[in-house]
Structures are given as C-alpha cells and as structure tokens.
Amino acid sequence: MRSLITALCLMLAAPALAEEPAAAPRFAEQPTAEQLLSALDDNLTFESRTTTIKMTVVNPRRTREFTMRTFARGEDEASIEYLSPTRDAGTKMLRRGDELWMYIPNVERTQKISGHMLRQGMMGSDMSYEDMMASTEWEELYTASVTGADEVNGRKCWKVELLAKDDTVTYPKRVSCVDAETGIPTKQELYALSGMLLKTWTMEDVKIFEGGRRFPTKMTISDKLKEGTYTTIEMSDITFGVELEDEIFSQRWLERR
C-alpha cells in the first residue's frame, strides 16, 4: 500500500465532487489488518495526480509559508515546483525510484539528495527528505495487527500497529488510526526502535471526489524531537487520473525555466 508520506506528492487543477457520496467502508465490528489496509488502498491509491499545496512551517522563532505545484505518477515518480516565497520560487525536486534530486535556481545547480542530507527537514519543515523517500510497501516491510478501537476528533477509529520485519526500515514501529466509517487514516505515530515517539501525522478535511473517492486534504506533521514545531500541508485543486508528460519526471525538467 502507499505510504502516508507519499500523499505529499500531490498536484493541480479543479476536482469534481461526487453528487452522491459513494458507500464508504464501514467497520462496525473489529476488522482484520488486511481489511483496513485494503480500505486505505481504495482511498489513497492513484495512477496519477496533480495538486497545489500550501505548506506552513511553524517553530518558536518564526512561521514560513510555501506554495508548491506537485505532480505524481504511480508510486515511484514525483516532482515538485516551488512557486513562493519569491526567494524559493523556481526550486524544483524530482523523485524517481529511490533517487532524489533538487534544482537550486540561485546557483543554477542540480544536487542529488543522499546520505546524511536525507535526514534534514525539507525547507526546514518537520518532514525530512528521507520521509519523502520512504518505501510504500507496508505489507512487505511490516507485520500488521489491529490492537483495538480509539477516537480521533470525536470519531471512532481502529488502531493498526505495524512492526518492521528488519532493521533497515526508517521507522521500526508505526501506529495508525483508521476511521471506522470512511477508511481514511486520521492519525499516525512513528516510533524509534527504543519505543520513543519520533513524529505524529494527522489527516483531516476529507473530501469526496468524482467517482466517490474520499481523500484527506490537510495534514499536520510534528517532529517530537523538536520543541514547539509543526508543519501543515493543505491541498487544493486536486485532480486524479490526469495525463502527465514524461518530461515532468526527468532531470531536464528540473532546469527548465
């Protein structure tokens, strides 16, 4: 299934809302982990997608806002272009498979993000480049189990615990809360091997798009190792199934003005 982190790599153009909401998955009784993961896939899987993103990075010293246009195709191709603020406009990022590049217009240079740089926060946010590169194959990387019910924002959800099968996974443990009615993951906690909570992700403002697809349009990420910081990602103008040119996912596109 797709990682929640992959949800950042979204994109542009007005979506059509469904006139009649499609029947949502309902889990009145405790479901299996496989049923919940299947529900997540139904809502979050896509062939291609575009959107506009507003990212707000908050820390005790200042608040910064970024606007991005993003494009994604399948699980392994994604690109981002920064539109604002002015000093960051024209910065681009490209992900192909397990490789990540950034074009910096001020110095007219393309740089590959690798090694220790992957652990840095993207534009100072609570989401690291490593988060962007995280594998989406949860069922291959983790052993999943449903540990019971919980409540998020007054709504019932089922808690899914995922334990890594080996020590190469960035987050050895994940705990996700999946809405019992919509099948949307509303909260996720990411843990270190020691059991220390590293990050939390929440998803909200779920909207219904053409064909009955339900999709969260706001995420909040908090790095628990940093005091008083959080990052919000608000998505608008989402379009699914859009045809995208191959060049958008090429290094040539990075340096194209």
pLDDT score, position 118:
82
For position 3, what pLDDT does the model report? 41
Separation of alpha carbons 176 and 157, rounded Å = 9
**What pLDDT, on the 0 to 100 scale, is given for residue 100?**
92
**Residue 17: its pLDDT value, please?**
35
Instruction: Give me the residues of the chain with pLDDT under 70, please.
Output: 1-26, 41-46, 133-138, 210-211, 213
Q: What is the pTM of this model?
A: 0.81
CB 67 within 8 A of CB 79: no
Distances (CA, A) of 10 to 86, 150, 238, 242: 22, 29, 7, 12
Q: Which secondary-structure segment (H or E) carries 202?
A: strand 197-208
Q: Is-contact 57 50, C-beta < 8 A?
A: no
160: exposed, middle or buried (Cβ count in 10 Å: 0-12, 13-18, 19+): buried
| Domains of the chain with CATH codes | 4-254 (2.50.20.10)
Cβ(40)–Cβ(31) below 8 Å: no
